[in-house]
């Protein structure tokens, strides 16, 4: 069976701020502009999770979409939705929540849980409808 | 000349929290659920500003869209984008930033500045692509 | 308090067929074209439910969106999603499921349950992204 | 039978220029900015045509969508698609093709052809996804 | 000439059901949930067809889009639109119409007809705006 | 640090015509159909610019999005927006402005300006929401 890729889109709304505690406020403002606003700002994020693998000869599924959705909700959305990415998320402690850093941490949360022979193939994380990041893992 | 309506969509990203200072934290949580998260959350808002009036016989315009955009950016977006709606905006002081309350305050900011014979006709404020509010003014 | 309108979008996927049992197959084909295919076809429907009313002075809400979503899911989506509109829905018995007829029946399901002073204001039912119907009730 | 509104979206791509032959080039540039570029520019337009009326007791249709689509293609899209709005369209001769002027002329093309008891209710003409005009006729 | 990829999106609306005739109804329900509803359900599918190749030095085209559209309409859309994927399509006989299985069969219909030096590069098949599959052929 | 891809979408509106000066008008009409209309037509183009590289350990950025946007506006959008692609753009002189040819020229404008270790990875150019091209460079 050849590989097919399936994707499920999920969303979460969160606050964040781009600023490093080890930098001065002036340097944070210079580097991150209004993304460094001390009182936070926020976004509606969309997360596209792509899994690749051969369709199962019985079910015709690469992976059951209900299981994929449940996995992403449990490992990612439940922790991020209506939360502050700098303050509220144990697995983002010490991480500057740029979209780039965020997508790499989400990969680490999801990759171990995709049941073989399927495998996590790609994540696309939309911060706005006109700006997004894409990640295919440390070897991608 | 009959009336035509023109609309310009603008966006801003902001943090907020639904919670009343005159209510207990327990009551806020009960009423607003995870929208009351003490560390804030946020959204990408889209704002559709509709102006109604007769097209000018010379320019064919109800209102110059560049002027409309500049007006909304100056009176609304400059104050809300990458800001905290509970903390950072003088004209939202004391206002619980539900989408309903927010759209009414935005109306008050914009209506006096639309040059007659055009007039502000409607605002649509999107908090997510699946939830929005609409307001046509106190007499609408 | 002036009126504000809030809208929540929900979706369901369903099969249907346009054909009247009291008409011949030839007349059904002539009237409805490939919408009369005897083996059904189907759509992803989007339903925009708009409620109008004064924001509550306490919560700032016209109506709690979680309650609105739960109401539409219970009264409409639970019966229509992944169903056949001609065969599976008790409250559509004897109804030719054109989009027009469908939106009027959905109104009847929802209007009695919106808590005053809010009231159901408008339904928009999308059959495809390029074709939709709009209904504001029998007096709308 | 109460009224239901049905809408069909169609598209066309056209070139145009905002400039009056009875004004100097300098005045055109001052008024219309880069929309006055002498060598034209262009847009993908989307046109939403809304018809209102009681659903037919037999077909359940306010108006057959295939007929509505054919009407708009014959009266509007065939003349505008892949054309220059200033030069190529007999029924736009002498009309400055602002979106406002364009939507009023499209109304005049369509309104007489909608079969009663249905009637043309509203046109929405999108010049970009972030700018559109709306027209409900000379008495709307 | 380097390779460029061009994509054309087409759509079709169809009914289907996920259930294997060689499995019991109970097992089908357990595996496929409400996708196994015996009376069918349906979707608006979007199909993105990507062709890759060097632009022709004369026309500047990888492939004439009108020809690509005509090819997909003839080989795929004409058979699937307003049809039942389990019952009405000769080239889907015996195929469980999961999105994964469907996209592989569509590939087999299209790949032999793309005129060299262009070649079919990728198919994306959207079952809903939040769930899609992607296929690059048996060697992709 | 592994590679992450970031994308910024920008837009421009332009007129163009597909026709070769070294071909007869008849041959241009035969090859390009109504895209050869002598009086031009036009589109709203969307351009997705993807840059790939390791996130900077300090800023967490592959590339500052404000810089990326400024680069694309300076090198591409300023020359194309509200312009005629056949007549107004020095770096398109002698280029038949098919979407394929256009995306290759845009690549040449942008690639030299992306600051290492980031590099231009992919361009997607949308001529309409249902037709787009993709280019990954002469070695892509």
* Confidence band for B119, pLDDT divided at 50, 70 and 90: very high
Q: At which residue do the structure tokens 């893992």 appear?
A: A137
Q: Which residues of chain A have pLDDT under 70?
A: none
Domains of chain D: 4-16+43-135 (3.30.479.10)
D69 touches chain C (CB under 8 A): no
**Are the beta carbons of C131 and D65 separated by less than 8 Å?**
yes
Active site residue E127: yes
Q: Which chains touch F (3 or more CB pairs under 8 A)?
A: A, D, E
**Are the beta carbons of E98 and A55 separated by less than 8 Å?**
yes
What mean pLDDT is reported for chain F?
Answer: 98
| Residue of F98, F105, F140 for testing the chain E interface, max E β-carbons within 10 Å | F98
Q: Which chains touch A (3 or more CB pairs under 8 A)?
A: B, E, F
**Are the beta carbons of F55 and A100 separated by less than 8 Å?**
yes
Q: Which of D16, D39, D82 sits opposite F37 (nearest CB)?
A: D82
Which residues of A are catalytic, by number?
35, 82, 127
Q: Which of F35, F39, F42 sits opposite D41 (nearest CB)?
A: F42
**Are the beta carbons of F41 and D41 separated by less than 8 Å?**
no
Q: What is the reported pLDDT for C86? A: 98
Other Cβ atoms less than 10 A from the Cβ of A111: the count is: 14
Taking 90 as the threshold, does the pLDDT of residue F60 lie above it?
yes
- Phi first, then psi: give them for residue C7, nearest 5 degrees: -130, 140
Contact assessment for residue E138 and residue A11, using Cβ atoms and an 8 Å cutoff: no
DSSP helix/strand/coil, F34: helix
Model confidence over C99-115: pLDDT tens digits? 999 999 999 999 999 99
Q: What is the reported pLDDT for D73? A: 98
Region F17-29: what's the mean pLDDT? 97
Longest dimension (CA), chain E: 60
| Residue of D4, D45, D47 for testing the chain C interface, max C β-carbons within 10 Å | D4
| Cα F58 from Cα D15, distance rounded (Å) | 47
**Are the beta carbons of A104 and F8 separated by less than 8 Å?**
no
The sign of the dihedral angle between the CA atoms of B15, B16, B21, B23 is: negative
- Phi first, then psi: give them for residue D22, nearest 5 degrees: -90, 5
Taking 90 as the threshold, does the pLDDT of residue F5 lie above it?
yes
Q: Which residues of E touch C15 (CB under 8 A)?
A: 15, 39-42
Other Cβ atoms less than 10 A from the Cβ of D42: the count is: 28
Model confidence over F77-124: pLDDT tens digits? 999 999 999 999 999 999 999 999 999 999 999 999 999 999 999 999
| Cα B68 from Cα B66, distance rounded (Å) | 5
Q: Which of D130, D106, D132 lies closest to D49 in space, CA to CA?
A: D106
Radius of gyration of the CA atoms of chain F, in A? 17
A64 touches chain F (CB under 8 A): no
- Phi first, then psi: give them for residue B127, nearest 5 degrees: -90, -35
Q: Which CA distances in Å does A56 have to A59, B25, E93?
A: 6, 50, 18
Q: Which of E121, A128, E45 lies closest to F48 in space, CA to CA?
A: A128
Closest residue on chain B to C10 (Cα): B130
| Cα F104 from Cα E36, distance rounded (Å) | 47
| Cα E76 from Cα C44, distance rounded (Å) | 20
In terms of residues, how long is chain F? Answer: 140
Closest residue on chain A to F60 (Cα): A98
Taking 90 as the threshold, does the pLDDT of residue D140 lie above it?
no
- The interface predicted TM-score (ipTM) is 0.96
F42 touches chain D (CB under 8 A): yes
Taking 90 as the threshold, does the pLDDT of residue D25 lie above it?
yes
Contact assessment for residue D39 and residue D68, using Cβ atoms and an 8 Å cutoff: no
A58 touches chain E (CB under 8 A): yes
| Cα A122 from Cα A137, distance rounded (Å) | 7
CB pairs under 8 A between A and E: 55
Catalytic residue among B11, B41, B82, B131: B82
Other Cβ atoms less than 10 A from the Cβ of D27: the count is: 14
Task: Output the six-digit token pair for A51.
Answer: 């899994």
* Confidence band for C43, pLDDT divided at 50, 70 and 90: very high
* Confidence band for E11, pLDDT divided at 50, 70 and 90: very high
* Confidence band for C140, pLDDT divided at 50, 70 and 90: confident
Q: What is the reported pLDDT for E140? A: 84
Tell which F residues from 2 to 31 touch E, by Cβ distance under 8 Å: 18, 20, 31
F113 touches chain A (CB under 8 A): no
**Are the beta carbons of D60 and C18 separated by less than 8 Å?**
yes
Is residue D116 classed exposed, middle or buried when 0-12, 13-18 and 19+ CB atoms within 10 A define those classes? exposed
Q: Which CA distances in Å does A125 have to A110, E77, F64?
A: 14, 32, 17
Q: Which of A27, A43, A26 lies closest to A132 in space, CA to CA?
A: A43
Q: Which of F72, F135, F64, F60 lies closest to F99 in space, CA to CA?
A: F135
- Phi first, then psi: give them for residue E59, nearest 5 degrees: -85, -15
Q: Where are the beta strands (DSSP E) in chain E?
A: 4-16, 41-53, 83-84, 119-128, 131-135
**Are the beta carbons of B135 and C4 separated by less than 8 Å?**
yes
Taking 90 as the threshold, does the pLDDT of residue D59 lie above it?
yes
Q: Which residues of B touch C60 (CB under 8 A)?
A: 18, 96-98, 100-101
Q: Which DSSP symbol is given to D20? A: -
Q: What is the reported pLDDT for B105? A: 98
| Cα B89 from Cα B81, distance rounded (Å) | 10
**Are the beta carbons of D8 and C104 separated by less than 8 Å?**
no
Model confidence over C29-39: pLDDT tens digits? 999 999 999 99
Q: Which chains touch D (3 or more CB pairs under 8 A)?
A: B, C, F
Region C75-102: what's the mean pLDDT? 98
**Are the beta carbons of E6 and F96 separated by less than 8 Å?**
no
CA distance C19 to chain E (A): 14
Task: Output the six-digit token pair for A81.
Answer: 């939705």
Active site residue D82: yes
Task: Output the six-digit token pair for C6.
Answer: 């809030």
| Cα A13 from Cα A83, distance rounded (Å) | 7
Catalytic residue among D25, D41, D67, D82: D82
Query: Residues with Cβ < 8 Å from B134, sequence gap 6 or more?
Result: B103, B122, B123, B124, B125, C4, C5, C6, C7, C50
Q: At which residue do the structure tokens 């019991």 appear?
A: E24
Q: Within 13 A of B81's CA, how many CA atoms are on the CB side?
A: 14
């Amino acid at each position: 069976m050849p590989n097919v890729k399936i994707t499920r889109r999920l969303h979460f709304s969160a606050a964040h701020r781009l600023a490093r505690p080890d930098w001065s406020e002036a340097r944070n403002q210079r580097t991150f502009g209004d993304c460094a606003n001390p009182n936070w700002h926020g976004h509606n994020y969309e997360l596209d999770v792509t899994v690749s693998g051969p369709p199962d000869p019985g079910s015709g599924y690469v992976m059951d979409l209900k299981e994929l959705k449940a996995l992403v909700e449990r490992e990612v959305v439940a922790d991020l939705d209506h939360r502050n990415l700098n303050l509220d998320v144990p697995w983002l402690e010490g991480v500057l929540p740029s979209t780039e850093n965020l997508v790499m941490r989400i990969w680490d949360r999801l990759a171990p849980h995709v049941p073989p022979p399927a495998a996590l193939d790609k994540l696309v994380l939309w911060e706005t409808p006109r700006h997004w990041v894409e990640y295919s893992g440390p070897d991608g």
